[in-house]
Chains A and B, each alone.
Chain A
Amino acid sequence: MGIDLTLTEEQELIGRTANEFFEKNCPSSLVREYEATASDYPSELWTKMAELGWLGMPFPEACGGLGLGTLDMYPLLVEMGRHLVPCPYLDTVALAGELICSIGSESQKKTLLPGIAAGEIIVAPAIMEADGSYGPKGIQLQAQHTGSGFELTGAKTLVACAGAAQWLLCAARTDPNPADGISLFLVDPTTSGISMERTPNIAGYPLYAITFDSVSVPADAVVGETGSAWPSLYQAMMKAAVLQSAMVIGAGERVLEMTTNYAQEREQFGQAIGKYQAVQYLCTDIAIHYHQTSLLTLQAAWRIDAGESFLREAALAKASASRAAAAMTFAAHEVHAGVAFISDYDLQLYTRRAKHWEYNLGDLRYHLDRACAESGI
């Protein structure tokens, strides 16, 4: 009751368990390996995460889930960020799973959610297009009514783990009206007319560009109501953005730790560089960004779980996280200098992923604008 910013014992336990689990099962060698392989994600690790119940955390128990809230997922995502876990958690569990839970039909829930929770089904949300905008206007892939269903034509970009997905969750335009014409479709990626290419990127993630050329989908592929998916999609992306912010927090905590350790050990001019105030300032920059983002993210997560309006607070959290992702890694490189420019050193793994996270689910500019809009400005 009252004001309290501390997680429950159970929530802290989730964090400790996840930290120990990833420490053991997701060393940086695995992170590096998955930048280089053709495989989208480490399925063995994913299965173990499923066994721990993590892939069904937010789903109702009837659908193989644990029925937990955002504050319960928060410590898990922090640890996923700290250990740079290469897997489609945000995409499949947080975003696609949330959408299927909130607007999917009973049959879609029964077919997909237990499979996701068991680690057997990957659903890859295909939202963004080539112009890189985050709002509804950016969704231009056309879905034409046909006698038996729809025909999709257009292209999607930055689709994570599409190569391993059993389903794409594709946002398409069924009406030219910017906000009202958007529908979501579950599409089998092996359907004729779909071609995908893996797009090499700064984070070494399995991101795909997918072209839809007159792709036929049945009428029951629609998730939610035809033409009115945007509000749900927007809400789900904002919730996922809060969890993305939690990943930035975990990564930031690790980056801060690496940087202060290095500043204590590295000596120049006869003393530890951490004794120089210029270096201390850079370290405190990381701490301040980390702290600011963790408070704002905790607030947004709490609002989601408390059933309060959360869109404004989610935008503030992700704006802070996007800025922090860039600022924390910048400061860390300033302190490490030459050593972290060498690929053997792990800091660069964080730096490159931080850039993807900065953009993912809305960048700084987008969320600053949303923060205004959601404040009625």
Chain B
Amino acid sequence: MVDMRADDTPELQAWRQEVRDFLAEALPEPWTFWYDYDEDPESWERYLTFWRKVAEKRWVSLTWPKEYYGLGRSAIEKWILDEEFVAHDVPTYPVIGRQVSELLMRHGTHEQRLKHLKGIADVSVLWGEGYSEPGAGSDLAGLTTKAHRDGNEWVINGQKTLGTAAHVCQWMSVLARTDPDGPRHAGLSCFLVPLDTPGVEMLPLNNMADGRQNMTYFDDVRIPAENLVGDENQAWTQVWFGMGGDKLDNALPGTDPHTLRIIPLFARVLRYCQQTNRGGQRLADDPLIRQQLGELMVGVETLKVQAFENYSRAQTRKPGKFGAASSHLSAAFHKEFWPHLAQVCMEIVGPMAQLKGGRWAQLNGELEHYFRASFGNHAGGTSQLKRMVLATRGLGLPR
């Protein structure tokens, strides 16, 4: 039965209020921080201090089972928490490696969960992702990092790129080829790698939006055999689907609450248009700008309802109209809409939007940065890839 209100009981409304009260108390002012676009050490320290407060409430692990340091709360409570975090410009997870906990929960052993989930839950251990390689981006199955078994250890050799925030992380989940002779999708495995292991070296890839990503080199990196997560040679199904395939419907990169960081930004642009005069009239009264704002509003609303849909699909276990490719459709939409939104907002605000900050900048220079950040829309695969998957898997067109 169609329902699009998360908090339709007094208990859930009280929960939303509890999250709001917490944020009002715990969030430092002023708050502008996204981990993928900030390298200021003080900002990071404030950010992690905030997250440790979240962890004290055990809200990082809100929905996890109690035996794994969670509170066993419902998915809808997590959804409401995410909505409130995003509405306050806070990411819904400390750093990029949010999938590791889901991966462990689905494919990890009991021992692996006991060992690793606590550090994730209390934000004492941060996890990065080692998936993309210089020669394997959207075509992830073409990766060449190798791992071979040597006694009680795995030995990893290769190179991973675009590791968002990996330099602040202590661990990384790494996809590597364990069967060099098998079909390209069939020979991959996933490993949990402590980044202080000898042979790991990291170089910065500073991105155009003030964040640091990383090139990570693995040179005869030896890790214990028990750090294989999931089944040997099965990582394509177990991890790739976790990145937006049909098994884990509400995971990245389909639309999820994290995507909705667009909402508060767009609300600021709307407010700006109501409060700012140009040529003797409010921007919001300019018929052309109203059309542009309306058009963006359709897109922002679409992202919101797509997130509802992804949540609904994951909960009801009913496939979407386009089956396995449904989350690729929303991902394609988001990936194309994001830079479009940034572009049109800059058109609306006009030439002063290019200033980074200070007295003459508009909206504290937020759009100048947002526009640059919007070129990071490729993370998790390009919109072209998403459309190709939609066309072949969702619409039945030939490959």
Report which A residues bind B (CB closer than 8 A).
Answer: 1-8, 71, 256, 260, 263-264, 271-272, 274-275, 277, 279-281, 283-284, 287-288, 291-292, 294-296, 298-299, 301-303, 306, 308, 313, 315-316, 319-320, 323, 365, 367-372, 375, 377
Establish whether residues A4 and B291, one from each chain, have CB atoms under 8 Å apart when the complex forms: no
**Known contacts A4-B3, A281-B387, A375-B297; A295 and B291 CB within 8 A of each other:** no
Smallest Cβ distance from A253 to chain B, in angstroms?
A: 8
Establish whether residues A5 and B397, one from each chain, have CB atoms under 8 Å apart when the complex forms: no
Q: Looking at chain B's contact residues, is the secondary structure mostly helix, strand, loop, or mixed?
A: helix
Given contacts A256-B395, A292-B302, A368-B290, list 4 more A-B pairs with CB under 8 A.
A4-B2, A292-B333, A301-B2, A370-B294
> Which of B274, B301, B322 meets A296, CB within 8 Å?
B301
Report which B residues bind A (CB closer than 8 A).
Answer: 1-6, 8-9, 12, 76, 79, 270, 273-274, 284, 287, 290-291, 293-295, 297-298, 301-302, 305-306, 308-309, 311-313, 315-316, 318, 321-322, 329-330, 332-333, 384, 387-388, 390-392, 394-399
Nearest 10 interchain pairs by C-beta: A368-B294, A280-B391, A274-B397, A295-B305, A5-B312, A2-B76, A284-B387, A371-B294, A275-B398, A302-B2
Establish whether residues A284 and B395, one from each chain, have CB atoms under 8 Å apart when the complex forms: yes
29 CB < 8 A contacts A-B: A1-B8, A2-B315, A3-B6, A3-B308, A5-B4, A6-B2, A6-B316, A6-B318, A260-B396, A264-B396, A275-B397, A280-B388, A281-B387, A287-B322, A288-B333, A292-B333, A295-B302, A295-B306, A295-B308, A295-B309, A298-B305, A316-B297, A316-B301, A368-B293, A369-B287, A369-B291, A370-B294, A372-B294, A377-B274
Establish whether residues B298 and A264, one from each chain, have CB atoms under 8 Å apart when the complex forms: no
CB contacts (< 8 Å) of B302 on chain A: these are 292, 295-296, 320
Listed residue (A263, A272, A274, A372) with the most chain B CB atoms within 10 angstroms of its CB: A372
Listed residue (B274, B284, B301, B330) with the most chain A CB atoms within 10 angstroms of its CB: B301
Smallest Cβ distance from A13 to chain B, in angstroms?
A: 14
Establish whether residues B290 and A291, one from each chain, have CB atoms under 8 Å apart when the complex forms: no
CB contacts (< 8 Å) of B313 on chain A: these are 5
CA of A298 to CA of B321, assembled, Å: 14
Nearest neighbor of A368 in chain B, beta-carbon distance: B294
**Known contacts A299-B4, A372-B290; A5 and B309 CB within 8 A of each other:** yes
> Which of B284, B315, B394 meets A377, CB within 8 Å?
B284
Establish whether residues A264 and B308, one from each chain, have CB atoms under 8 Å apart when the complex forms: no
Establish whether residues B309 and A280, one from each chain, have CB atoms under 8 Å apart when the complex forms: no
CA of A4 to CA of B312, assembled, Å: 5
**Known contacts A6-B312, A284-B387, A299-B305; A365 and B291 CB within 8 A of each other:** yes
Nearest neighbor of A286 in chain B, beta-carbon distance: B395
CA of A3 to CA of B8, assembled, Å: 9
Establish whether residues A302 and B4, one from each chain, have CB atoms under 8 Å apart when the complex forms: yes
**Known contacts A5-B2, A71-B2; A319 and B298 CB within 8 A of each other:** yes
**Known contacts A283-B397, A288-B332, A295-B302; A6 and B1 CB within 8 A of each other:** yes
**Known contacts A283-B391, A287-B329; A4 and B315 CB within 8 A of each other:** yes
Establish whether residues B3 and A284, one from each chain, have CB atoms under 8 Å apart when the complex forms: no
Listed residue (B3, B322, B392) with the most chain A CB atoms within 10 angstroms of its CB: B3
> Which of B3, B291, B321 meets A291, CB within 8 Å?
B321
CA of A351 to CA of B315, assembled, Å: 37
CB contacts (< 8 Å) of A288 on chain B: these are 329, 332-333
Establish whether residues A1 and B9, one from each chain, have CB atoms under 8 Å apart when the complex forms: yes
CA of A7 to CA of B321, assembled, Å: 13
> Which of A5, A284, A375 meets B391, CB within 8 Å?
A284
Establish whether residues B294 and A367, one from each chain, have CB atoms under 8 Å apart when the complex forms: yes
CB contacts (< 8 Å) of B394 on chain A: these are 287
CB contacts (< 8 Å) of B395 on chain A: these are 256, 260, 280, 283-284, 287
CA of A367 to CA of B293, assembled, Å: 12
**Known contacts A295-B306, A371-B298; A280 and B397 CB within 8 A of each other:** yes
Establish whether residues B332 and A284, one from each chain, have CB atoms under 8 Å apart when the complex forms: yes
Listed residue (B2, B391, B399) with the most chain A CB atoms within 10 angstroms of its CB: B2
CB contacts (< 8 Å) of B6 on chain A: these are 2-3
Listed residue (A1, A272, A308, A319) with the most chain B CB atoms within 10 angstroms of its CB: A1
CA of A279 to CA of B270, assembled, Å: 37
Establish whether residues B2 and A377, one from each chain, have CB atoms under 8 Å apart when the complex forms: no
Smallest Cβ distance from A197 to chain B, in angstroms?
A: 34
CB contacts (< 8 Å) of A1 on chain B: these are 3, 8-9, 76
